[in-house]
């Protein structure tokens, strides 16, 4: 490497950060705007300015910049991210296996916001999609389907069946069509190409022969199992790579000789640098899988900061883990470092899934530009952002009240210490007065609210919003720590970025952290991280075999991948002494999807070491290991590292000899009142200088707030280390009235507790239903069993669990419960939904109490608990005892003892019922129940910490007030609806505004609702008394189902981000008739009521309110299996259209939100072939606003099994509203031997044979308004 100036440049959305290293070892830092009319490219302008100063010669803009003094340029860039978010990538076509052209539109079928009726449809990156006539099957010796096709050997030695070779003639025709439409870039994703890539390579070859500019094939971009994320990744790569290539070429053209002789490297999402020379090799026969291409560049900007933290904040001697905290204008990024980078395989950005190892960086929509609101008695920060233009009010561009304004009002940001770059001409200072006036207006509105309690000052309101924002930023940190088994308080908070220093102390204090470290280059740490980063080359190949039977093969693969990596690094100028190779296995237990990265840093691991490392990580993250289960290696990977710059420049600072003097002071307002706040310049500080809070340390690139009871010390290397002590807040047991600020904070804390319970359950469970399909819910409840907060999991669980908790409380009484008790229930008359949904309830006792102070509970769907059929979802059950094991009031843990023997007896009891079996998977039942118990223990731990911080009376008080906030929102919604409703009816002697609607189940049973709304108070009666009688089938719905449907619908109709809790039901009286389909007798079959009638209940409520047409009204429950296996899934359909929006196609609606199993996973684990999975075009109802379409899913069975279908809307169509047309009904068709059609009707069980095809046609959603 030649001598000269080195550049680390991080091109962000607003600012470009620059770190310069001169030949003599001196450094410089600065920022400039990423977009400016005075120059075309910020990184080029930065280099021009530095060289002009260094050479003392003005280099005019537009003139090629000389390169003789440049040694290297390292860049992180948001070019790919911005192109993705703004949808400004290359015009792209996707070529995918025939039968799956809609696969990316369907995705995993889940919706991101369960309460949003207008479900957004992700915008696809491709402009055109074409089907490739080809098909690969996996060979399975247990299958009995006679497949007389050619066999080949895949990359891992597994046999594959070439069911159909590529139809090259049709492929060429489609390429010609794509070219005629202006397509420049091609993405290719064919089923099972991760293991047999030859078909994709053929498509790529033919595409290049047709002259396309760029081709991304999924087997090269992301050679891992799962077609949906792999296809998304290939599409993103094809969409973004040409944009990156164009940017790099334009950048090079600004320099003499196109930067020949200069090392130019870019940061990738995995935290490694890559040479732009490697980029060119993407098009050659030698392929480097982690070049700087579109799919590897999404996190190019944030990754530099994480690398910077790894070098500057982590101490190898103490090994204290670090949380990186990067707060920007619109969002905050957090990550964890404990001696190695934490990676994830799969992530999502703006609806696009990326399947590729990348740094684990969690983002929350809270930044300096986050807008401030007061809604339903709550302080709300974001997610809307004021952006950089117009920006916050203080930017002098008629912007919006934002978090930055709150910091200005509190003098944490002082205009005189900020650049004068604001106003119309970009030459004005920050405007304190505008920020204050905006906050004053909002404070006035808050004080007029009944929830405000005593009147609040402007500074109190400003501080309140900052505290709410801080709590929001704590949640993703807890996800990185507590949710993975780490103690948050034992971390160091490493703060960087422009805004983070103003919030770091408060965030650390809220999380119990004692240290905050702010590096001297914190304001430009992402650029500094680029200087310190290593060049990384990664090689990866699929394996998909048990480690025990294939370790010799793994060792051989490692050797080959290391040689390939070494060759690549050598070509980039590294000697072997500069190289390190990390050996990585992607490991998981058989029949699970939770992958653990196991790394061998020095090449010494044996098979035993890898297994022990896997079990250690698995036990820490999930709380257990699975005995007698094979460990599968999905992928073998080598990370080759080339190091040019060995260490951070540890230049020591002089030791102070006198007391540091402040440059000025301002009044500051904090939790404990107003204090004098001294200001200091970072440049004035020397080693050993101490700054006692409250104070502000000013630097040209960042502002550091040292809060009260905090002490900042300058280290010998010029960094700031802040010691954080506890600060007693005003909120305690003696607080009078309520605080809207603390109402908002407690809302976050309660929700966070439920979320962390869910993380623990997901981590600890071993069944596919809970761990992968996420068919579970967690919540916490007040002392009377009222729902306080829940994580946004499965809607049908959420409202119903409250009934289960109250049923146990009524049965045992508070005096009948004691510490160490855990309750298990699934009975419909005790608040259950259907028997497979097992609810675990734990009473919470604070220290010194003899009665429960709170309850925590979770409900999880168990794959089998016995009964008539595998999967415990019998379509034709007529009695409850045919549907599985029954628990009404059972202490699964009594006085701390797990009652395994009695639990096992009850789970086996269904075997005594004629034609029924006991549980078919006892081990999974026991393991998942233990996981559910562990999830509740996590909730208890977090509740205990909350009570310790605030006092039990305060926590209970805010539990009640959180419910009042939800109640207020629902009442306001109902009063508004009443004001727009003309029809009135008298009910029980009073006059109400009246709504009514009736719909019918496929058997003709009516679900009828009359709604009576009191227009002045917002009270309402939901009267289902005219619904049909209990039926002799399984579609009876327990009372808890109706409660869940009503609370869900009310939350959707409010259409604001309010907590879902008992308060939503406070204005509501629900009337049911005992012995009806909605309140059946105790012995009634109910398994279909949970999954079918619940959906119809939602359609009826929404029909009465007239806001949205019927959705598919069904969950499309499909099970198949035999004595050795069982599979269960629910399948998407169409969403109903509403006022001013179309219904989304191919999505789960209303009471469910479980994910669909990826096609490649399904075919790898079960003896079926999925022949087609597509949107059922024109199945949605037409109207001014069209209903969403359903889907078509075709299964081919490869061996004899039992197929069970439990569906609805096969006889009656999903209705339209206000002139909108109804949607098409669903169909369940079995083709015997793939030829003879048989209609299975809505509910049936049938024996299927090899070559039988089952076609599932799901209903669409109704239309809204006359077309």
Region 704-723: mean pLDDT is 93
Packed helices 922-950 and 740-764: angle between N→C axes, nearest 10 degrees: 160
CB 759 within 8 A of CB 778: no
* H or E stretch at 90: none
Q: Is the confidence at residue 389, as pLDDT, over 80?
A: no
Whole-number Å distance between alpha carbons of 521 and 786: 50
284 — pLDDT class (breaks 50, 70, 90): very low
Quick one: pLDDT at residue 277? Answer: 63
Q: Is the confidence at residue 728, as pLDDT, over 70?
A: no
Q: What percent of the chain has pLDDT over 70?
A: 96
pLDDT for 774-783, tens place per residue? 788 899 999 9
Whole-number Å distance between alpha carbons of 1221 and 1215: 7
The model's pTM: 0.88
Q: Buried (b) or exposed (e) across 648-677, using 16+ Cβ within 10 A? A: eeeeebeeeeeebeeeeeeebbbbeeebeb
Q: Tell me which residue of 1260, 1259, 973 sits closest to 1107, measured CA to CA.
A: 973
What is the total residue count of the chain?
1267
Quick check: helix, strand or coil at residue 1049? helix
Q: Tell me which residue of 150, 123, 124 sits closest to 136, measured CA to CA.
A: 150
Quick one: pLDDT at residue 648? Answer: 54
Whole-number Å distance between alpha carbons of 185 and 241: 9
pLDDT for 793-811, tens place per residue? 777 877 678 899 999 999 9
Quick one: pLDDT at residue 385? Answer: 83
pLDDT for 154-190, tens place per residue? 888 889 999 999 999 999 999 999 999 999 999 999 9
Cβ atoms within 10 Å, residue 640: 25
Quick one: pLDDT at residue 623? Answer: 66
> CA angle 609-613-614, nearest 5°?
120
Quick one: pLDDT at residue 492? Answer: 95
Quick one: pLDDT at residue 756? Answer: 86
Whole-number Å distance between alpha carbons of 926 and 660: 63
Quick one: pLDDT at residue 32? Answer: 85
Residues 6 or more apart whose Cβ sits within 8 Å of residue 853? 783, 844, 845, 846, 947, 952, 956
φ/ψ of 539, rounded to 5, equals -125, 140
Whole-number Å distance between alpha carbons of 356 and 586: 12
CB 1005 within 8 A of CB 1031: yes
The token pair at 6 is 């080195």
Residues 6 or more apart whose Cβ sits within 8 Å of residue 1006? 998, 999, 1000, 1026, 1027, 1028
CB 791 within 8 A of CB 114: no
The token pair at 47 is 């280099």
Average pLDDT over the chain reads 90
Give one word for 17, left, alpha or beta, with left for phi > 0 and alpha for psi -120 to 50: beta
Quick one: pLDDT at residue 1206? Answer: 95
Quick one: pLDDT at residue 727? Answer: 63
Whole-number Å distance between alpha carbons of 672 and 189: 59
759 — pLDDT class (breaks 50, 70, 90): confident
Worst-scoring range by mean pLDDT, 136-150, 314-328, 442-456?
Answer: 442-456
Worst-scoring range by mean pLDDT, 120-124, 286-290, 642-646, 841-845?
Answer: 286-290
pLDDT for 227-252, tens place per residue? 999 999 999 999 999 999 899 999 99
The token pair at 485 is 């088994």
Which whole-number Å values give the CA distances from 715 to 338, 517, 693, 718, 725, in the listed order?
21, 10, 17, 5, 19
Whole-number Å distance between alpha carbons of 695 and 712: 9
Whole-number Å distance between alpha carbons of 1204 and 1256: 12
Whole-number Å distance between alpha carbons of 263 and 261: 7
575 — pLDDT class (breaks 50, 70, 90): confident
Q: Is the confidence at residue 763, as pLDDT, over 90?
A: no
Question: Which one of 24-28, 207-211, 349-353, 425-429 scores highest in mean pLDDT?
Answer: 207-211
Packed helices 607-622 and 547-571: angle between N→C axes, nearest 10 degrees: 100
Q: Is the confidence at residue 618, as pLDDT, over 90?
A: no
Q: In sequence order, what DSSP letters do the residues of 1069-1123 get, joined into one string?
A: EEE--TTBTTB--TTB--HHIIIIIHHHHHHHHHHHHTSB--------EEEEE-S
pLDDT for 1033-1091, tens place per residue? 999 999 999 999 999 999 999 978 777 888 899 999 999 999 999 999 999 999 999 89
Q: Is the confidence at residue 451, as pLDDT, over 60?
A: no
Whole-number Å distance between alpha carbons of 191 and 164: 12
Could you identify the residue written with the tokens 């002392």? Answer: 783
Q: Is the confidence at residue 1259, as pLDDT, over 90?
A: yes
Cβ atoms within 10 Å, residue 28: 13
Whole-number Å distance between alpha carbons of 245 and 294: 9
Quick one: pLDDT at residue 649? Answer: 57
**Distance between first and last Cα of the chain:** 69
Listed as own residue / partner, the contacts of 1120-1125 with beta carbons closer than 8 Å and 24 or more positions apart are: 1120/1166, 1120/1168, 1120/1195, 1120/1197, 1120/1201, 1120/1202, 1120/1203, 1120/1204, 1120/1248, 1121/870, 1121/871, 1121/1201, 1121/1202, 1122/870, 1122/1199, 1122/1200, 1122/1201, 1122/1202, 1123/920, 1125/1166, 1125/1167
Whole-number Å distance between alpha carbons of 1227 and 866: 28
Q: Tell me which residue of 1097, 477, 1129 sits closest to 774, measured CA to CA.
A: 1129
CA 184 to chain centre: 32
Whole-number Å distance between alpha carbons of 431 and 1194: 63
Q: Which structural domains are found in the chain, ordered by start?
A: 370-468 (no CATH), 535-642 (3.30.1490), 740-951 (no CATH)
Q: Is the confidence at residue 733, as pLDDT, over 70?
A: no
Region 837-845: mean pLDDT is 96
Quote the DSSP letter at residue 917: B
Which whole-number Å values give the CA distances from 817 to 810, 888, 894, 934, in the listed order?
11, 16, 9, 19
Region 247-275: mean pLDDT is 91
Cβ atoms within 10 Å, residue 704: 26
Give one word for 232, left, alpha or beta, with left for phi > 0 and alpha for psi -120 to 50: alpha
Quote the DSSP letter at residue 351: T
Q: Tell me which residue of 496, 480, 277, 471 sits closest to 380, measured CA to CA.
A: 471
285 — pLDDT class (breaks 50, 70, 90): very low
DSSP-derived pairing of the beta strands 1243-1248 and 1253-1257: unpaired
Q: Is the confidence at residue 749, as pLDDT, over 90?
A: no
> CA angle 687-689-695, nearest 5°?
135
Comparing 1012 with 428, the larger pLDDT belongs to 1012
289 — pLDDT class (breaks 50, 70, 90): very low
Give one word for 1119, left, alpha or beta, with left for phi > 0 and alpha for psi -120 to 50: beta
């Amino acid at each position: 490497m030649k001598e000269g100036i080195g550049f680390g440049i991080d091109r962000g959305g607003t600012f470009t950060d620059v770190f310069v290293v001169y030949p003599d070892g001196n450094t410089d830092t600065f920022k400039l705007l990423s977009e400016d009319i005075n120059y075309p490219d910020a990184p080029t302008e930065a280099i021009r300015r530095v060289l002009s100063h260094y050479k003392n010669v003005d280099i005019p803009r537009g003139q090629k910049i000389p390169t003789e003094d440049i040694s290297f340029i390292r860049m992180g860039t948001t070019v790919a991210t911005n192109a993705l978010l703004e949808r400004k990538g290359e015009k792209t076509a996707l070529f995918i296996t025939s039968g799956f052209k809609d696969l990316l539109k369907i995705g995993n079928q889940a919706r991101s916001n369960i309460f949003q009726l207008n479900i957004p449809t992700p915008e696809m990156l491709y402009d055109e999609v074409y089907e490739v006539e080809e098909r690969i099957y996996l060979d399975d010796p247990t299958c009995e389907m006679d497949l007389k096709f050619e066999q080949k050997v895949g990359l891992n030695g597994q046999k594959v069946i070439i069911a159909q070779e590529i139809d090259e003639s049709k492929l060429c025709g489609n390429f010609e069509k794509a070219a005629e439409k202006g397509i420049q870039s091609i993405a290719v994703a064919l089923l099972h190409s991760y293991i047999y890539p030859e078909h994709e390579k053929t498509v790529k070859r033919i595409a290049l022969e047709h002259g396309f500019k760029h081709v991304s094939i999924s087997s090269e971009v992301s050679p891992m199992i799962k077609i949906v994320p792999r296809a998304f990744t290939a599409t993103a790569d094809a969409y973004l790579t040409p944009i990156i290539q164009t940017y790099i070429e334009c950048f090079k053209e600004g320099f003499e000789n196109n930067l020949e002789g200069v090392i130019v490297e870019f940061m990738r999402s995995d935290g490694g640098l890559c040479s732009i020379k490697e980029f060119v090799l993407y098009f050659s026969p030698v392929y480097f899988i982690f070049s700087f291409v579109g799919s590897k560049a999404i996190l190019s900007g944030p990754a530099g900061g994480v690398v910077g933290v790894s070098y500057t904040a982590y101490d190898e001697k103490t090994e204290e883990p670090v949380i990186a905290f990067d707060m920007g204008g619109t969002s905050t990024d957090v990550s964890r470092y404990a001696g190695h980078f934490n990676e994830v395989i799969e992530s999502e950005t703006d609806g696009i899934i990326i399947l590729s190892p990348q740094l684990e960086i969690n983002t929350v929509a809270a930044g300096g530009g986050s807008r401030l609101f007061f809604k339903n008695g709550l302080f709300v920060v974001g997610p809307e952002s004021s952006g950089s233009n117009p920006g916050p009010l203080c930017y002098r561009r008629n912007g919006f009240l934002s978090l930055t304004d709150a910091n200005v009002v509190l003098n944490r940001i002082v205009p005189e210490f900020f650049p004068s770059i604001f106003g119309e001409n970009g030459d004005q200072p920050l405007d304190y007065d505008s920020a204050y006036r905006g906050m004053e207006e909002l404070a006035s509105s808050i004080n007029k609210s009944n929830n405000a309690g005593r009147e609040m000052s402007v500074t109190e309101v400003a501080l309140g919003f900052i505290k709410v924002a801080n709590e929001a930023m704590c949640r993703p940190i807890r996800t990185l720590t507590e949710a993975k088994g780490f103690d948050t308080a034992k971390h160091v908070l490493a703060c960087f970025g422009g805004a983070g220093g103003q919030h770091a102390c408060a965030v650390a204090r809220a999380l119990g952290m004692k240290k905050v470290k702010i590096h001297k280059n914190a304001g430009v740490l992402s650029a500094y991280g680029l200087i310190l980063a290593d060049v990384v080359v990664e090689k990866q190949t699929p394996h998909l075999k048990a480690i025990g039977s294939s370790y010799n093969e793994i060792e051989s693969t490692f050797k080959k991948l290391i040689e390939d990596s070494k060759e690549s690094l050598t070509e980039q100028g590294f000697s072997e002494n500069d190289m390190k190779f990390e050996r990585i296995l992607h490991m998981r237990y058989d029949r699970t999807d939770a992958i653990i990265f196991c790394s061998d840093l020095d090449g010494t691991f044996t098979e035993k070491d890898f297994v022990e490392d896997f079990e250690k990580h698995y036990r820490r993250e999930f709380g257990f290991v699975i005995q007698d289960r094979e460990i599968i290696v999905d992928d073998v990977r080598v990370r080759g590292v080339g190091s040019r710059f060995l260490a951070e420049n540890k230049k020591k600072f002089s030791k102070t000899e006198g007391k540091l003097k402040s440059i000025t002071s301002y009044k500051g307002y904090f939790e404990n009142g107003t204090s004098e706040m001294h200001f200091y310049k970072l440049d004035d500080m020397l080693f050993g200088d101490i700054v006692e809070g409250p104070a502000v340390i000013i630097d040209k690139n960042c502002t550091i707030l040292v809060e009260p009871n905090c002490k900042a010390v300058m280290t010998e290397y010029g960094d700031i280390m802040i010691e954080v002590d506890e600060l007693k807040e005003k909120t305690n047991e003696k607080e009078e009235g309520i605080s809207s600020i603390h109402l908002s904070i407690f809302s976050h804390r309660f929700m966070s507790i439920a979320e962390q319970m869910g993380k623990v359950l997901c981590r600890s469970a071993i069944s596919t239903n809970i761990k992968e399909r996420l068919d579970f819910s967690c919540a916490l409840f007040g002392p009377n069993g009222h729902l306080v907060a829940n994580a946004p999991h499965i809607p049908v669980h959420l409202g119903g669990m409250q009934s289960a908790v109250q049923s146990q409380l009524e049965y045992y009484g508070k005096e009948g419960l004691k510490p160490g008790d855990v309750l298990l229930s699934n009975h419909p008359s005790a608040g259950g939904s259907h028997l497979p949904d097992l609810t675990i309830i734990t009473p919470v006792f604070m220290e010194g109490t003899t009665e429960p102070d709170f309850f925590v509970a979770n409900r999880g769907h168990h794959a089998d608990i016995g009964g008539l059929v595998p999967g415990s979802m019998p379509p034709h059950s007529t009695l409850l005892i045919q549907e599985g094991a029954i628990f009404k009031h059972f202490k699964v843990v009594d006085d701390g003892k797990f009652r395994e023997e009695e639990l096992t007896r009850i789970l086996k009891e269904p075997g005594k019922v004629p034609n029924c079996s006991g549980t078919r998977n006892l081990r999974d039942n026991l393991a998942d129940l233990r996981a559910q118990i562990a999830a509740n223990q996590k909730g208890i731990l977090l509740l205990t910490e909350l009570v310790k911080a605030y006092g039990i009376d305060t926590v209970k008080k805010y539990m009640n007030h959180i419910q009042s906030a939800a109640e207020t929102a629902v009442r306001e919604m109902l009063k508004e609806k009443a004001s727009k409703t003309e029809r009135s009816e008298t009910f029980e002697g009073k006059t109400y505004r009246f709504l009514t609607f009736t719909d019918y189940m496929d058997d003709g049973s009516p679900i009828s609702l009359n709604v009576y709304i009191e227009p002045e108070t917002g009270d309402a009666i939901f009267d289902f008394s005219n619904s049909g009688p209990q039926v002799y089938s399984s579609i009876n719905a327990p009372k808890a189902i109706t409660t869940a449907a009503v609370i869900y619908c009310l939350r959707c109709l409010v259409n604001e981000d309010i907590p879902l809790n008992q308060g939503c039901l406070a204005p509501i009286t629900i009337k049911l008739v005992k012995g009806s389909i909605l309140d059946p007798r105790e012995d009634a079959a109910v398994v279909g009521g949970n999954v079918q009638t619940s959906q119809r209940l939602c359609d009826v409520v929404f029909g009465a309110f007239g806001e949205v047409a019927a959705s598919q009204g069904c969950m499309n429950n499909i099970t198949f299996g035999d004595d050795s296996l069982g599979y269960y899934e629910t399948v998407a359909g169409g969403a109903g259209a509403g006022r001013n929006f179309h219904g989304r196609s191919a999505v789960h609606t209303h009471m469910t939100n479980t994910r669909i199993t990826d096609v490649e996973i399904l075919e790898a684990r079960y003896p079926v072939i999925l022949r087609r999975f597509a949107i059922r075009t024109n199945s949605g109802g037409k109207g001014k606003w069209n209903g969403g379409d359903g889907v078509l899913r075709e299964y081919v069975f490869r061996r004899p099994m039992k197929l069970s279908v439990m569906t609805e809307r096969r006889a009656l169509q999903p209705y339209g509203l206000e002139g909108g047309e109804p949607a098409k009904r669903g169909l369940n068709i079995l083709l015997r031997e793939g030829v003879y059609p048989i209609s299975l009707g809505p509910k049936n069980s049938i024996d299927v044979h090899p070559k039988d095809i089952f076609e599932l046609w799901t209903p669409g959603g109704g239309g809204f308004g006359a077309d």
